[in-house]
């Protein structure tokens, strides 16, 4: 589930719990206590989720990720290996990419 959708649902749950707690009689303290603890749990979950959303969207978090890529040496090795494959395919009379025989034109 996406974070925004989860936040919306948690907001709905919090409002529903608030309404139920307000309408419940004060004489049922045990049940009202359970509902209060459920509401505080929902509020805590909202805060944690909101903090995660804020951390993801911050530009500082994006800068920390390492940029992957090939080194110059790795790029050169790949190039040499490709040239070797192409030369082998050409000697066999095959297209290096498709693997089909080369057509002979007159």
Each residue's pLDDT tens digit, 21-42: 888 777 777 888 888 899 999 9
β-bridge mates for residue 101, sequence order: 94
Q: How many CB atoms lie within 10 A of CB 42?
A: 20
Tell me the CA distances in angstroms from 34 to 16, 17, 57, 73, one per residue in order: 14, 11, 35, 64
Tell me the domain boundaries of the chain: 3-57, 71-96
pLDDT of 58 > 70? The answer is no
CA 81 to chain centroid, in Å, comes to 34
pLDDT of 84 > 70? The answer is yes
**94: helix, strand or coil:** strand
């Amino acid at each position: 589930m996406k974070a925004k959708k989860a936040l919306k649902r948690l907001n709905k749950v919090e409002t529903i719990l608030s309404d139920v707690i307000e309408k419940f009689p004060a004489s049922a303290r045990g049940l009202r206590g359970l509902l209060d603890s459920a509401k505080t749990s929902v509020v805590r979950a909202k805060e944690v989720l909101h903090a995660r959303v804020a951390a993801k969207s911050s530009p500082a978090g994006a800068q920390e990720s390492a940029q992957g890529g090939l080194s110059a040496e790795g790029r050169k090795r790949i190039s040499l290996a490709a040239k070797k494959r192409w030369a082998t395919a050409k000697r066999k009379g095959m297209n290096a990419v498709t693997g089909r025989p080369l057509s002979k034109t007159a």
